[in-house]
Amino acid sequence: MLLDPRIIIMFGANVLLLYLTLLVNSALSNWLLYLVLLGPMVVLPAIFLRHRSYVLCTLLTGLWVDAALPTSFGLITLGFLAAGAFIFQIRFRFRAEHNYHPILLAHACNFFAIALITIASGVGNLLVSAFWIQVILTSLISHLTLLVVAPWFFNLQRTLFELCHLDTEPEDFPIL
H-type alpha helices, the chain: 6-28, 40-48, 51-68, 75-89, 100-120, 129-163
- Long-range (24+ apart) CB contacts under 8 A made by 66-69 are 68/18, 68/22
**CA-only gyration radius of the chain, Å:** 16
Identity of the residue numbered 64: W
Residue 102: Cβ-neighbour burial (10 angstroms; 0-12, 13-18, 19+): buried
pLDDT value at residue 5: 87
Of the listed ranges 34-38, 94-98, 137-141, the least confidently predicted one is 94-98
Q: Confidence band (pLDDT; 50, 70, 90) for 109? A: very high
Going from N- to C-terminal start, the domains of the chain cover 6-163
Task: Kindly tell me if the per-residue pLDDT of 124 is higher than 90.
Answer: no
Q: What is the pLDDT of residue 172?
A: 63
| Dist CA 14 CA 8 (whole Å) | 10
Tell me the mean pLDDT in the region 122-146.
92
Cα atoms found within 13 Å of the Cα of residue 116, Cβ hemisphere only: 23
Burial pattern 65-79, b for ≥16 Cβ within 10 A else e, equals: bbeebebeeebbbeb
pLDDT tier at 114, thresholds 50, 70, 90: very high
Is the entire prediction scored with pTM above 0.75? yes
Mean pLDDT score across all residues of the chain: 90
Q: So what's the pLDDT on residue 64?
A: 95
Give the mean pLDDT of 39-66.
93
Q: Look at residue 34 in the predicted model and tell me its pLDDT.
A: 92
Q: Residue 9: its pLDDT value, please?
A: 94
Percent of the chain with pLDDT over 90: 69
